[in-house]
Chain A
Amino acid sequence: MRFVLRRLGFFVLTLWAALTLNFFLPRLMPGNPALAAIGNHRGSLDPAALKVMEAQFGLGHQNIVSQYFSYLGDVATFKFGSSLTTQPGVSVGRIVLDAVPWTLGLVGLTTVLAFILGTGIGIVGAWRRGGRLDSVMPPVFVIMTVIPYFWLGLILILVFGVQLRWVPYFFSYDITLTPGLNLTFIGNVLQHAILPAFTLLITTIGTWILTMRNTMITTLAEDYVRMARAKGLPGQRIMLDYAARNAILPNLTGFAMSLGFVLGGAILIEEVFNYQGVGFLLLQAVNNTDYPLEQALFLLITVAVLVAILISDVATAILDPRTRGAS
């Protein structure tokens, strides 16, 4: 219980640090470019939204302390102002909420898939230590983890999109279709997800494989595994019930954390495929110098990570009794 409370305290503290960073970043930048950007759009903004942004970026005549507190209050009540250029005048919250499901669907599902496949391959690779799979795997996956997402995306577009014309590679569905819950539309969305999902899968699976393999190797050297062998238990049972079950813990915590990185983890893939999720929106905001939208997205991405870390801490405390005593 004390462990969980400590982690909760850390969560609150980090959240506060992220908010404070968000508040001071625009003020620390040479010339505070956000001021000019908001000033230019002053006339077209809703007064309530303008008030929120005045506090956030330091536009009004209040002093910095009262700006800081009214900023914290605005965030607590989910007021983020309105977009300047991307969708002028529309509330930032609205725009962000429209983008979130697309990223959750594409990146979230791919993360789950990469975890399951990668962990499985890692288990088998470590079990057949010295086999052909195991000796080829580490160098190949070390190299695969350094491939920049966006570049691999571009290459896959060239091969499967431009040259072979097998799959679509622009947007998340055919823009001539009307979105709706029918088979044609869903099929079309899935088709558009193939290339970006595959890109993400290839570049992330290596980490899962290597972590699982390395922990599994350590576990396989434990006495209880040797004991299981001595008892003559079937190999598959030793591999899964004895070794993998104990070795999977670091991968599980890693998985919980990676779920937090879903929102901000595939920014460039969304950009390359023009997939209208959170990352694509962030870069649109950057290109349009739409600072209120940018800051809100950064905050959303950070909070997602913090929540995932909290969940993974609690999960570890439940799954692994050893962590409960340690502080």
Chain B
Amino acid sequence: MATLGVTGGAGEPGRPGAPVLAPVGGLPPPAAGVAGARSLRRMTRAVTSNRKATAGTLLLVLFCLVAAFPGVIARDDPNAEIYGRALGPSLQHLLGTTALKQDIFAQVVFGTRPVLLIAFGVGLGATVIATLIGVAAAYLGGAWDGALSLITDVLLVIPLFPLLIIIGSYLHGAGTGVMIAVITLTGWSYTARQLRAQALSLRSRDFLEAARVRGERSLYIIVVEIIPTMTSLLVASFLTNALYAVLFSSSLQFIGLGDPSVTSWGTMLYWAENNEAFQTGQALWIIVPGLCIVALGAGFALLNYAFDEIGNPALRPVRSMRGKRVKRPG
């Protein structure tokens, strides 16, 4: 693919207003045709040079490690109801025990995995559906575009959380898989709309025309030519959907619509509320799972905001935008 990628040589806006010394490559403006691998590399560089991005990445890596090796960090069984009732924090029980005689620390540690599974499952699933529908609508055009856009727009305006509550009330205890499916199927519309707009802006560009003239099939053009130019939007979509999945699933679990036997931060809060943890002096039972939700959510949100800052020239400091445009062959 040989197009000229206009790369904004402006630096990253880690500290707004600070003079930027070295031109660090930010994300290209969305319309520039750049091969996927290169914009991925650029993203990696962006992560290390933007402080919000670094913090977000560290948080996510930390939680991934906890989710992968919970047994190494907490030695107690999260489901065992064998300890003293409602104990305070001690060396045996770092965060104390619940009114149901379980170890709170073990529950928090083992509760990480279902939350991350839901976050990543929904993030990936919703992005895939949104990409298929958004790009197909833009590329096929005509009646297809009309129908797909209409479905997207209708789903976009239906209030999601009340809808999830209604669906949850019919399902009676949604486990991790059902949770992923339901949030994915209802939550893809916002991204699909963005991706459609992006794909539309690409439709008449030369490199796609070249591919068409070469006689490539539609599928090849969509997968190999169009989708790689959307890497930054796809990453943003993954992060946004993962964040909403964490918040929505925890909220559903908190009101008792999750599977109460799965140890997860949301279900911990459900049991804590039902056992009046505050009144019986077990504040940690409520504080710690909630803090974990906030920290994980912050990880996704900070990364997303950082990418937005890098990718959107408007948010960059005005000073660093002058006279630093570099044109180089892609």
The residues of A with any CB-CB pair to B shorter than 8 Å are 10, 13-14, 17-18, 21, 25-26, 29-30, 33-34, 129-130, 134-135, 138-139, 142-143, 145-148, 150-151, 154-155, 157-158, 162, 214, 217-218, 220-221, 261, 264, 267-268, 271, 282-283, 285-287, 289, 291, 294-295, 297-298, 301-302, 305-306, 309
- Chain B contacts of A135 at CB under 8 A? 15-17
Q: 15 additional contacts, CB 8 Å, given A130-B17, A151-B290, A309-B157?
A: A14-B154, A14-B157, A17-B154, A129-B317, A139-B305, A143-B294, A148-B250, A148-B254, A151-B293, A155-B286, A268-B251, A286-B166, A294-B166, A295-B166, A297-B162
- Chain B contacts of A13 at CB under 8 A? 150, 154
Q: Is there a chain A Cβ closer than 8 Å to B161's Cβ?
A: yes
CB of A154 within 8 A of CB of B157, answer: no
CB of B286 within 8 A of CB of A154, answer: yes
Q: What CA separation (Å) do A148 and B292 show in the bound complex? A: 11
CB of A305 within 8 A of CB of B278, answer: no
CB of B273 within 8 A of CB of A146, answer: no
- Give min CB distance, A101 to chain B, whole Å: 19
- Output the nearest chain B residue to A157 by Cβ-Cβ distance: B278
- Give min CB distance, A204 to chain B, whole Å: 13
- Give min CB distance, A150 to chain B, whole Å: 6
Q: Is there a chain A Cβ closer than 8 Å to B279's Cβ?
A: yes
A-B contact pairs, 24 of them (CB 8 A): A14-B157, A14-B158, A17-B158, A25-B167, A34-B170, A129-B16, A130-B18, A135-B16, A142-B302, A145-B301, A146-B298, A146-B301, A154-B290, A158-B278, A158-B283, A217-B314, A218-B314, A267-B162, A268-B254, A268-B255, A271-B255, A295-B166, A298-B166, A305-B157
Q: What CA separation (Å) do A150 and B270 show in the bound complex? A: 11
- Chain A contacts of B300 at CB under 8 A? 146
Q: What CA separation (Å) do A283 and B168 show in the bound complex? A: 11
- Output the nearest chain B residue to A288 by Cβ-Cβ distance: B169
- Chain B contacts of A148 at CB under 8 A? 247, 250-251, 254, 290, 293-294, 297
- Chain B contacts of A294 at CB under 8 A? 166, 169
Q: What CA separation (Å) do A151 and B171 show in the bound complex? A: 24
- Chain A contacts of B257 at CB under 8 A? 286
CB of B16 within 8 A of CB of A130, answer: yes
CB of B251 within 8 A of CB of A146, answer: no
- Output the nearest chain B residue to A16 by Cβ-Cβ distance: B154
- Chain A contacts of B250 at CB under 8 A? 148
Q: Is there a chain A Cβ closer than 8 Å to B163's Cβ?
A: yes
Q: What CA separation (Å) do A250 and B308 show in the bound complex? A: 17
Q: Is there a chain A Cβ closer than 8 Å to B27's Cβ?
A: no
CB of B170 within 8 A of CB of A29, answer: yes
Q: What CA separation (Å) do A142 and B309 show in the bound complex? A: 13
- Output the nearest chain A residue to B279 by Cβ-Cβ distance: A162
Known A-B contacts A148-B294, A217-B315; the reply to A286 vs B16 at CB < 8 A is no
Q: What CA separation (Å) do A294 and B305 show in the bound complex? A: 36
Q: Is there a chain A Cβ closer than 8 Å to B165's Cβ?
A: yes
Across chains A and B, which 6 residue pairs bring their CB atoms closest together, nearest first? A130-B17, A146-B297, A151-B290, A29-B170, A218-B314, A286-B169
Partner of A33, one of B170, B286, B315: B170
- Chain B contacts of A21 at CB under 8 A? 158
CB of A151 within 8 A of CB of B269, answer: yes
Q: Is there a chain A Cβ closer than 8 Å to B172's Cβ?
A: yes
- Give min CB distance, A143 to chain B, whole Å: 5
Q: Is there a chain A Cβ closer than 8 Å to B323's Cβ?
A: no
Q: What CA separation (Å) do A309 and B158 show in the bound complex? A: 11
- Give min CB distance, B49 to chain A, whole Å: 16
- Chain A contacts of B157 at CB under 8 A? 14, 305-306, 309
Known A-B contacts A158-B283, A282-B162; the reply to A289 vs B169 at CB < 8 A is yes
- Identify which of residues 265-307 in chain B touch chain A, using a CB-to-CB cut-off of 8 Å: 269, 273, 278-279, 283, 286-287, 290, 293-294, 297-298, 300-302, 305
Q: What CA separation (Å) do A287 and B168 show in the bound complex? A: 11
Known A-B contacts A17-B154, A158-B286, A305-B157; the reply to A298 vs B162 at CB < 8 A is yes
- Give min CB distance, B200 to chain A, whole Å: 14
Q: What CA separation (Å) do A218 and B255 show in the bound complex? A: 41
- Output the nearest chain A residue to B299 by Cβ-Cβ distance: A146
Q: What CA separation (Å) do A142 and B278 show in the bound complex? A: 28
Q: Is there a chain A Cβ closer than 8 Å to B318's Cβ?
A: yes
